[in-house]
Amino acid sequence: MHAIRFGTDGWRAIVADEFTTANVRIVAQAIASYTKERGQQEQPLLVGHDTRFLGRRFAEEVVQVLTGNGIRTYLLSEAAPTPAVAFGVKHFAASGAIMITASHNPPEYNGIKYIPDYAGPASPAITKRLEEWIAQIVQSGEVHRTSIDEAIAQKRMQIIVLRPHYEAHLRRMVKLDVLKRSSMHVVVDAMHGAGMGYVSGLLRETGIRTVGLRETVDAAFGGNLPEPNEKHLTLLRQEVVSRQATMGLANDGDADRFGVVDEAGRFIPPNEVLVLLVYHLVNNRKLSGKIVRTVATTHLLDRVAAAYGLELVETPVGFKYIGEQMLLGDVLLGGEESGGASILGHIPEKDGVLINLLIAELCAWEGKPLGKILRDVQDQFGELFSTRIDISLTRKEGLLQKLLEQPPLQVGPYAVQDINQLDGRKLLLEEGHWVLIRPSGTEPLVRIYCEATNLLALEKIKEAIRDWFMEIRV
């Protein structure tokens, strides 16, 4: 078998290939062993799942292993968003949670996220220890299990309802009184994921006219990836325009990522959404704190932080690093270009449900269309232009390794002024442009991120990258 490895955000694999019942039991046993090693076996462990194929079955397999190890287990009553499960760790004073999800990956994938007692993504040190336990269990073959019926009889397993507690927390995080004064019309796309009914339900609760799309369980996600990007939100964009709605909001398969569409049906990239969020939290909510972004996220946040006199912290890619900063305290917003963010007073885990509600709150507060607010913010702070290029590792591994080991001194017409090695190789170019070359933590790809101060410069940078990979269209 292939080694089970935890990537940027958990372990993911294709169902019936590497993601099998046997392997799920091994990972569950590793987490049980780690829990007992930490002396946390007297606290409950939460087990949740999203809407993916066999999600409930895999969750029950996890329960059988945890209870077989004498660990009290709370199994969620229904499919739930990852951020809700993370919130549940704190709410129920659990030692952690196991979430069965492959997030935004294709339908044939499933995965496991381990959420420790601090309610954020597992740190590299924790995942390394879990992998060590996995290797031992594979070698010994020792997995302890019990039946669900026996677990219930011995009071080691309990089915719990989480949703009302999580929604009550969201009501405290969002200014519902502001939303209640609004006359907005919002279209919400759940993409057949675990977030169905959360954003649309809370908006309807405030009286906002809300239309829900793809709010039914479909393990095939309609034949698409449940990833809320421009490519996969065509339906949402069309519905916003045809209904003359104020905005469109979307979540991925486990609702930890957000997607935003303005009144004209234009997809707003996460980088721009993060800037809008900082503007709203500081300008309207009068909050302050550090701004934390990953190495792949827009430098426009740096400009905004400087203008507001806020500290800017850069981390490696992966929300676990942002979560580490949030645990230190005084973080106003932590965000990443892939559509994950959290704010002050919330869990150190990305939460697409909360972010969507905050974007609705921003529009209600300002009383303007989202596109107009974005233009006002760009007039104040300027604009940067970003893109991401994905290159298959299997086809270009040698060349890509060379790029990482010997980065170029020039990218198109722009000289490399400095190299940031925090994660991959980030080439800081003249005139404020930059290029990041970094292997993906979840897929066999190398991702190349580019940002420039104008579109012409961005095209020149992309052309230079095209020259590196002549036969690959970018």
With a CB cutoff of 8 Å and minimum separation 6, the contacts of 205 are 176
- Every domain of the chain with CATH number 3.30.310.50 lies at 385-468
Q: Quick one: fold of 11-162?
A: Alpha-D-Glucose-1,6-Bisphosphate; Chain A, domain 3 (3.40.120)
pLDDT bin (cut points 50, 70, 90) of residue 178 is: very high
Work out the average pLDDT over 4-13: 87
pTM: 0.95
Question: Which of 458 and 397 is assigned the larger pLDDT?
Answer: 458
Q: Quick one: fold of 385-468?
A: TATA-Binding Protein (3.30.310)
Q: What is the pLDDT of residue 102?
A: 96
Tell me the per-residue pLDDT of 324-370, one tens digit each, with 9 for 90 and over.
999 999 999 999 999 999 999 999 999 999 999 999 999 999 999 99
Work out the average pLDDT over 111-122: 97
Q: Which CATH class is domain 181-381?
A: alpha beta
The DSSP annotation for 7-43 comes to: BTTBEEEEBTTTB-HHHHHHHHHHHHHHHHHTT-TTS
Beta strands in 50-184 (DSSP E): 73-76, 96-100, 109-116, 157-160
Pairwise CA distance, residues 440 & 457, whole Å: 25
CB 326 within 8 A of CB 120: yes
430 DSSP 8-state letter: G
Q: What is the pLDDT of residue 1?
A: 57
pLDDT bin (cut points 50, 70, 90) of residue 391 is: confident
Mean pLDDT, the chain, whole residue set: 95
Weakest mean pLDDT among 8-12, 81-85, 414-418, 454-458 = 8-12
Q: What is the pLDDT of residue 290?
A: 98
- Every domain of the chain with CATH number 3.40.120.10 lies at 11-162, 181-381
Work out the average pLDDT over 211-223: 96
